[in-house]
Structure formats: C-alpha cells, structure tokens
Amino acid sequence: MPRPKRNFQSNFCYHITSRYNNREFKLSRHECREVFLYAIKKAINKFQFKLYALCIMSNHIHYLIEPATPEDLPKIMHWVNWYTAMCFNQMLNRTGHFWEKRYHSSGFEKNDYKRALNTLRYIHANPKASGMQQGFFYDFSNYGTHDRLTDDGLTEWHPAFLSLGKSLEECASKYRGFCKRYRPQPKQDKSYHWGSKLLSKVVKGKKKKTSPGQMKLPWAEWEPLTTEVQAVAEKFVLANCYDPKISLFCHFPE
C-alpha cells in the first residue's frame, strides 16, 4: 500500500512534527539541542523559509514553517533530518536511523489566523501539556519571543499574532491570555500487536534508497561545540527562557 502523497500549496504554513526513532528520548542532552538550533539556522540560510514556531522536546520536535515555495518543504526537512542525524549519531556514539522514516505535516492557508493561533499555542503548550512544567516559558521553544517580544535569531512572528492588537505590547498581552486559557486534550496511543484490527494498517518498508547520509560532515570526528554553535543557541535560549539571566538548563560560559 503506497503512502499518501503530500499536498503542498502556495501561501500555506505547515505544522511539522518529527519524532526520534522508536520515540526514544535522544535529545535530552543540552549539547544536542544546541546543535539542533544551529542546524535550523543553517537551514534557514540555505532555503530562506520562515520559522514561526519551534519546540524541541526530548523525543520529538514541533515546527510551524512557511517555505519560500511549496516544493521546498520536503527539501528542508530532508536536509535538517539528514544533517542532525549525522551529528547526533556521532555525538551519542550510535548508528542507524535517528528519526522516524516520515515526518508528520499538516498545512493550512497563511491567512487562516484562527488555525495559525491555535497551532502556535499547541506548539508552545507542549512542555506544559507533557507535565514538564507549569508555565509556557521553555528554553527550547519560542514562546518567550511572543510574551516578551524578544528576538531569538531564528523565528519571526506570524501575521496572526501581529493581528491581535494595534501595538506589539497589545499583541503580546492578548496572546499571553489566549495561552493561559489552553486546556490540553488527553491523547490515546494506538498500538499494533498480533491479532489487533490495526495490524492491517502497518505498512511494509520500501527498498532502501541512496541517502545523503553518505556525505561527509565538516568534521571527521565529533569535537566540542564551536563558538558559532554556542552563539546561535545562547541567543535563542536567552530570548525564550523564563528568566533571561538565570535559566534552569542554560550553562553557557560567561
């Protein structure tokens, strides 16, 4: 059974979810998250897309992306997943697939402000909904740029956010209240097992294709994070963490 073809359209935003293979908690290490932010920076420079929301969890990633052209989205995700998989496999001394084979993509028109705001809030509420913390501020999501109107160097405000008020302060205030009203819905995990009615939905894998993972990275062996990587991560974290001076996860050198 072939996989359904993705429908890419002009002037659309896409809510992307990428999960780590077997839903393992592979991005718990702070260094991995720093490298991921650096990879996103490189991808934005390479493909010139707009990143409206980002949340890095321990076993999955959420994005809200507007590609420059519809055809760019699979190129963006292919490059980001390849680059980060090669980095993390070296950093964690592992081999094999790092990401699940296919990312989840949900698109909607850019001018659908209601959908955009609900998607932004859903992404920003992930740490709270998972029970990691009580509030919305989180070092590795860009909620802080909406609440404190900071610049994290990677993301920008969606027109839906900018439509909330006549000034940026009013937009921030209304979005803050909108987020506080969020009530996460319980999720039901579907499992596949022998005898299950869902077993027929399991799709067999296709023949393996040549992957850009065979390409060489800029380094032969993993080395300590460069100043450039740390600078990108520091700007993002300090713009979004609960306290811009004292962050629970932040250990950047002074």
- In the predicted model, is pLDDT for residue 26 greater than 80? no
Q: Bigger pLDDT: 24 or 132?
A: 132
What domains can you pick out in the chain, each with its CATH number? 12-187+222-240 (3.30.70.1290)
Distances (CA, A) of 100 to 8, 23, 61, 116, 241: 21, 8, 12, 26, 29
CA–CA distance, 77 with 7 (Å, rounded to integer): 15
Mean pLDDT, residues 151-171 taken together: 97
Strand pairing class (60-66; 50-56): antiparallel
Q: Bigger pLDDT: 112 or 31?
A: 112
What is the per-residue pLDDT for 130?
80
- In the predicted model, is pLDDT for residue 198 greater than 70? no
